[in-house]
Amino acid sequence: MKKHWWKALGILLVAYSIIGGFLLPVPRMEILHETIRNLYFHVTMWFAMMIILTASFSGSIAYLNKPTPKKDFLASECAKVGVLFGLLGIATGSLWANYTWGAWWVNDAKLNGAAITLLFYFAYILLRQSVDDPDKRARLAAVYNIFAWVMLIVFLLILPRMTDSLHPGNGGNPGFGKYDLDNGMRLVFYPAIIGWSLLGAWLASLGIRLRQLEPEQ
């Protein structure tokens, strides 16, 4: 049980953030109103995605430095979980956009960058399925995964800050923390990031264990 404390913590924090996200009071902001509660879900899932995909990136670097199957499995499974969180982030973001911007999808640098980034990672998953030789597959996938992570940083963190964007903290817009992420929201926001990240790590660890049980191909 001592080895699995972080899994229990992840479940508790996610449950707490979901309950608190719907029930605890939030600032009364124009335009956003109650939709600001989506900050607890949309933004925190994106944070978790970034953390998990960075772990995948680290696994690929470690594999190229000293190849082992476990490092390849780490990169692969973290990428899958990262894509899952990315899809959830886009879904919750699209719902939020419809209520605040009046459309499910708008021509926004960060939205478009998120979609492009996920396409890079879909290509990573397809690449792994298209190469039969396990060693060659792992090497090619590791190199491509590093490239995909760099594109993630470019399209989600760099370009939106250089161009016009409706997202807070981008394109000259103030970030959430400056005006409406008050101390009450922080009590849910930060635990939610930790909780979703731990849940993602758990899902990735399950995938790694399943891969290790598979016969060598």
pLDDT at 153: 94
- Report the distance separating Cα 165 and Cα 73, nearest Å: 36
**pTM of the full structure:** 0.88
pLDDT at 179: 44
Residue 188 pLDDT greater than 70, yes or no: yes
pLDDT at 14: 95
> Does the residue 133 lie in any domain?
yes
Cβ-based neighbours of 27, under 8 Å, separated by 6 or more: 36, 180, 182, 185
Average pLDDT, the chain: 86
> Does the residue 139 lie in any domain?
yes
pLDDT at 17: 93
Assign 174 to helix, strand or coil.
Answer: coil
Encoded amino acid at 74, one letter: L
More confidently predicted of 164 and 98: 98
> Does the residue 195 lie in any domain?
yes
More confidently predicted of 126 and 132: 126
The domain of 35 spans 29-213
Domain total for the chain? Answer: 1
Residue 182 pLDDT greater than 90, yes or no: no
pLDDT at 73: 95
- Report the distance separating Cα 186 and Cα 95, nearest Å: 22
Task: Tell me the pLDDT band of 177, cut-offs 50, 70 and 90.
Answer: low
Structure token pair of residue 139:
């090497």
> Does the residue 194 lie in any domain?
yes
pLDDT at 25: 81
> Does the residue 9 lie in any domain?
no
> Does the residue 147 lie in any domain?
yes
More confidently predicted of 189 and 99: 189
pLDDT tens digit sequence for 19-77: 988 888 877 766 667 778 888 898 999 999 999 999 999 999 999 999 999 999 999 99
Which letter does DSSP use for residue 30 in this model? T
Task: Tell me the pLDDT band of 158, cut-offs 50, 70 and 90.
Answer: confident
